[in-house]
Amino acid sequence: MPRSVLVLYNPEKPAVADALAHVRELVNAHGRVVAELETDNLPIHPDQARGADLIVVLGGDGTLMSQSRRCVHLGLPMLGVNLGKLGFMAEFDLESLRPQAPSLFDGSPLMVQDRPMLRVTVHNPDGSPCNAHAPLERTLALNDAVITAGPPYRMISVAVTIDGARGPTITGDGLIVCTPIGSTAYNASAGGPIVSPDVEAMVFTPLAAQSLSFRPVVVSSRSTIALAVDRVNEDHPEGHAGTSLVLDGQVVGRLHAGQHVLIRQHARPVRFVRNPQVTYWGTLLNKMKWAPPPPPRRRQPLPPPPPPRQERAMTAKFQDYYQLLSLSRSASSDDIQKSYRTLARKYHPDLNKESGAEQSFKAINEAYEVLKDDKKRALYDRLGENWKHGQEFRPHPGSNGPSRSNRTRPPRAARSTPGPNFSTSDSADFSEFFESIFGPGGFSTSADDDFASAGRANPRSRPRQRQGQTHEAQLTLSLADLARPATHRISLSADNAAPRAYDVRIPPGVTDGSVIRLPGQGAPGSSGAPAGDLLLTIKVTPDPRFRIDELNKHDLHTVVPIAPWQAALGGKATVPTLDGDITLTIPPGSQPAQKLRIRGRGLPKKSGDPGDLFAELRITIPRTLSPDERVAYEALAKASNPDPSPA
């Protein structure tokens, strides 16, 4: 008999629409699709899977893991089609699914294997359960249950009891309890053993235990592990989470000193459809890279000997300042300024991204700095084009050249220095400019420092360029600012300097703790080096209406109070969003702490697509009852099942 298939697909996976159409075609060719649902963390009602005898999950291992918790109560076999990277548990992909589709969907027997799950409950010191009203999927784990220390990452203490017998007390960063199928995940990276999924066992592995003698332990799957949390890291006042309970990588709650965590095997396993062409050990070898052989050792040829060192004269190609600015030597000051502005705009690095534009821009600025000043321009006209080569001075053809009366140092003294060394009576204003070209000592204004100049004229003694320091600041934004990215004007001051205004564009995807870099807006560099950057760390002001999701910071959570009769019968409730209040439909039979996903009402992601808003239902019990309400509640108590525990 052809199979009836319920298809669950992860809308966050790339190309999921094409994959969904492909799977729909394969299933309908040999069976039929009864329903297609997006994956989320809400349990599937039996009515949604009515008539289905197989579940196909499109996504990665994480999707298959979350849907196992969501669907285990249905008892249906699950077939994972991998759209992610690894594909350890999701053994099929689109390529291998097509040739096997007839035998998978026409009613032929399937290769199905049961995989155990963990049931995790938290109890207060008095023994009362903390998560008694939590949805079932919030207490199940397919891979592992982890107690992690959390910020500020001080060591915690967890006392272990197995089947009522007192075990060790672990002092460290936490503890992992995993199933055999989860032994290749966090457990393996923490040094725990890899256990075949056919073995009925549980493994608990310490995280960075203080004792060097503590080793991972394998116990029977029928055991009950009790973990007494003796010392924890409490929640930080700034909102950082402390010691937490994590199931399959998802934080499900905080842990406090004195609480107990009970871990046992869940009564119902999840049923996975196996790929006949895939083996567990082959997956370990090929995908987990289990014990890869060392690469073959190859003899590397010896590098050739370095070429003999050759001394080369340091020469620089002269660039005439008038030619750089496309001017004649008789150009006026207005002509110089007009030509500079035209060329500077043409070669400015922010406007011209071509190779060499930045070097041309610097050369144009250097020429303009000399020619715009009458004294510097007259000196340049007298020195001629050979002054950069370090040769004996020869006047430029057509120029008058420096008179012998202006020389305060004999030519012999000038030739004794490694580089050019000129001196004039009116050159004091230009020493800093020429030092930037020749280095310290390349140009002197007095004959008294001949020996000092000669000792400093080596090009290696030029001032070193240092990039400016990076400045850091904090930018406080509201959730509304993140929801509607825009440009914000801020004012900052550094080192008691005058405040400076910045226009900061808030891009999509920015969340609490994100860092925005403003290149070149930090401290200025030295000796022509570029300025540093300005780093702005985003701090989001708390909003009493919303809470940012700890794992996906683009999702928001809000608490929606409802009355008991609304939870039982269904109804309408007002839910706040960043864009204003909306009306939410409450389904009948809603449970305390149940979360309803409102798509597209979260914070924008980098792609521009918005995250989601999760409305957490909180059932409010009236403190006082009117006579009519009391009569109604008493009638409800008589008509209801006396055992309120979930089935």
61 is catalytic: yes
Q: What angle do CA 147, 149, 150 make, to 5 degrees?
A: 115
Cis peptide before 152 (omega within 30 of 0): yes
342: Cβ contacts below 8 Å, ≥ 6 apart: none
Catalytic residue among 40, 53, 61, 198: 61
Dihedral sign for Cα atoms in the order 344, 350, 351, 352 = positive
- 179 and 163 Cβ atoms separated by less than 8 Å: no
Gap between the Cα atoms of 557 and 549, Å rounded: 7
Q: Cβ distance 235 to 254 under 8 Å? A: yes
DSSP state, 49? G
CA separation for the pair 241, 232 (Å, rounded): 11
Neighbouring C-alpha atoms within 13 Å toward the C-beta of 49: 22
Instruction: Give the closest residue to 26 by CA, choosing from 106, 108, 91, 83.
Output: 106
Three-state SS string over 591-621 comes to CCCCEEEECCCCCECCCCCECCEEEEEEECC
In sequence order, the 6+-apart residues with CB closer than 8 A to the CB of 100 are 92, 275, 276, 277
Q: Is 59 exposed, middle or buried (0-12, 13-18, 19+ CB in 10 A)?
A: buried
Alpha carbon distance 392, 414 (integer Å) = 8
Single-letter amino acid code for the residue at 284: L
Would you please indicate which residues are annotated as catalytic (active-site) residues?
A: 61
